[in-house]
Amino acid sequence: MTHPAAFGIDAGSTTCKVVAVDAAGNLVGSRLEATRPRLEEQAAALLAGLAADLGLASTPPATATGYGRQLVREAARKVTEITCHARGAFRALGHGGTLVDIGGQDAKAIRIDATGRTVDFAMNDKCAAGTGRLLEHTAARLGVAVADLGNRALAAGNEEPISSTCTVFAESEIISLIGRGADLDAIIRGLHRSLVGRIVAMARTVGLTPPLILSGGVALNPGVRAMMQEATGMTVILPPHPQLMGAYGAALLALD
């Protein structure tokens, strides 16, 4: 078994991720779970748990990222999400492009050049519209599993426009559509269109350099991927383990 040399932890608003890399920077282990209120204790338990999984007596050097990074006592370094996501995606794919990371409560667009350098970035962390939270709220309102939203959006025969750019107002709009008897799949498709429009507009502010790279939990949604490709005319690709890119980049930085 390859010996783990460094850990990275992404203490996100929705999920907490920890990964291990070997001395060459290859990902050799990971853990992911929903973020809990006592994040400081959760981070410590995740790091210790992954170390135990890999047969380590102690945690190797670690770097933390994510909104809760300052709470990770075990991390020697705390680094911004922009730096970690760019580093992780560039190493995973071996090339640059425009990286869009769609998380539970924020979204980031990062333009990465051919050397892996961050050229420009933009971040939406003030509003849940354009993030996974909008999809979660809608799924709960419609009684649909979050994992099913993307396929239902793609299968819809028509589309109900969702004009609101605020999660609260969008939810009110959806309630009105339900009250008028609108098709649920058409509502879901319209919601995806609204979310993608907001994300693409943000990405255009940093410059769309092909390919378009998606990371974060929402990257696993096939409806979002298809509509982003349609909206930009660019090939959309996913790195391996798209949810782990921030933690992976943090682990790579811990090797330095």
Dihedral over Cα of 102, 20, 17, 83: its sign: negative
Mean pLDDT of 148-152: 95
Mean pLDDT of 225-254: 96
Please give the Cα distance from 132 to 130 (Å, whole number): 7
**Predicted local confidence at residue 26, as pLDDT:** 97
User: pLDDT digit string (tens) for 77-128?
Assistant: 999 999 999 999 999 999 999 999 988 778 899 999 999 999 999 988 556 5
* Phi, psi of 12, deg, nearest 5: -85, 170
Is residue 214 within 8 Å of 102, Cβ to Cβ?
yes
**Predicted local confidence at residue 164, as pLDDT:** 64
User: pLDDT digit string (tens) for 167-193?
Assistant: 667 778 888 888 898 999 999 999 899
Q: C-alpha distances in angstroms, 210 versus 14, 70, 116, 148, 229? A: 29, 34, 14, 28, 11
Element (H, E) at 214: strand 212-215
